[in-house]
């Protein structure tokens, strides 16, 4: 029944993360709403499995059309050999290059997902973004990250260089289930919890925009009648804030 145990662990982790991070989630959501209302831009970045959160919130039914993923070649799960992603994430100057080549500007909002928060690319990206007035948010695992050393020359981990920190409340190493006869833990929680948290941010941001009298650019399903026309209007209105087309 360890599958059921895993579901219980993930459910409890989501609830704990939301309950303990609610104030920050609401603050980040308000910032996201104000960023969109000011016609500034929103970006989400992560390496390897952390990048799944960027895939989760862009170009999808019920999502904000103006959330832009940063998909950097060599960091995504279609990289072969996949082990190369771990090597590339530790290289210096990559974060600076990512920032330069992805339209991220002063006043924009950049959400970075990294569970350990120790590798060079996400830390460098956050540091460089901060230098030019970009608002930075990280979704990370504080228990994990606080127990490992940084691989960035500054010695800083991601939670130490971002403006806002959302803790996914996972365990060190991310995997959470212990099986008899297996020394390694199994069942990572970060993707399930992270997607719940970032969707909570988006929902709160949309609610804030409605309160501000703004019509949020939320996608309809293209498989619903009227969906294509609805989405086409959003693409036209926000064409200067969408970089994935």
Alpha-carbon distances of 216 from 30, 65, 105, 202, rounded to whole Å: 13, 9, 22, 11
Domain limits of the chain?
Answer: 2-237
Closest CA to 121 of 73, 169, 164: 73
Q: Report the pLDDT value the prediction gives residue 1, as an integer from 0 to 100.
A: 73
Closest CA to 109 of 155, 162, 161, 166: 162
Q: What is the mean pLDDT of residues 51-75?
A: 96
The whole-angstrom separation of Cα 64 and Cα 202 is: 7
* CB burial string 110-131: b at 16+ within 10 A, e below: bbbbbbbbbbbbbbbbbbbbee
Asked if pLDDT for residue 245 goes beyond 80, the answer is: yes
pLDDT tens-digit readout, 23-47: 999 999 999 999 999 999 999 999 9
2-237 CATH: 3.40.50.10490
Q: Report the pLDDT value the prediction gives residue 95, as an integer from 0 to 100.
A: 94
The whole-angstrom separation of Cα 62 and Cα 73 is: 27
pLDDT tens-digit readout, 129-144: 999 999 999 999 999 9
Q: Report the pLDDT value the prediction gives residue 220, as an integer from 0 to 100.
A: 97
SS3 content of the chain, % helix, strand, coil (to 5): 45, 15, 40
Asked if pLDDT for residue 122 goes beyond 90, the answer is: yes
Beta bridge partners of 46: 113
pLDDT tens-digit readout, 156-191: 999 999 999 999 999 999 999 999 999 999 999 999
Q: Report the pLDDT value the prediction gives residue 11, as an integer from 0 to 100.
A: 98
Asked if pLDDT for residue 150 goes beyond 80, the answer is: yes
Total-model pTM: 0.97
Mean pLDDT across the chain: 97
Beta bridge partners of 32: none
The whole-angstrom separation of Cα 243 and Cα 235 is: 11
Q: What is the mean pLDDT of residues 50-64?
A: 97
As a whole number of Å, the end-to-end CA separation of the chain is 44
Asked if pLDDT for residue 111 goes beyond 80, the answer is: yes
Percent of the chain with pLDDT over 90: 98
């Amino acid at each position: 029944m360890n599958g059921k145990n895993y579901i219980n662990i993930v459910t409890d982790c989501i609830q704990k993360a939301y309950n303990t991070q609610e104030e920050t989630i609401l603050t980040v959501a308000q910032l996201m709403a104000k960023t969109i209302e000011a016609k500034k831009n929103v970006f989400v970045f992560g390496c390897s499995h952390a990048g799944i959160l960027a895939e989760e919130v862009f170009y999808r039914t019920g999502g904000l059309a103006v959330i832009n993923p940063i998909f950097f070649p060599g960091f995504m799960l279609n990289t072969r050999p996949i082990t190369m992603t771990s090597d590339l994430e530790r290289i210096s100057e990559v974060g600076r290059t990512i920032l330069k080549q992805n339209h991220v500007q002063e006043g924009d909002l950049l959400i970075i997902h990294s569970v350990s928060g120790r590798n060079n690319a996400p830390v460098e990206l956050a540091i460089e973004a901060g230098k030019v007035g970009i608002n930075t948010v990280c979704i990370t695992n504080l228990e994990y990250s606080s127990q490992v050393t940084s691989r960035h020359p500054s010695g800083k981990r991601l939670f130490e260089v971002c403006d806002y920190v959302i803790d996914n409340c996972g365990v060190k190493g991310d995997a959470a289930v212990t099986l008899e006869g297996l020394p390694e833990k199994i069942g990572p929680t970060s993707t399930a919890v992270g997607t719940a948290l970032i969707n909570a941010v988006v929902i709160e941001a949309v609610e804030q925009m409605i309160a501000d009298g703004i019509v949020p650019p939320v996608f309809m399903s293209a498989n619903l009648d009227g969906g294509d026309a609805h989405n086409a209007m959003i693409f036209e209105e926000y064409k200067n804030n969408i970089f994935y087309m």
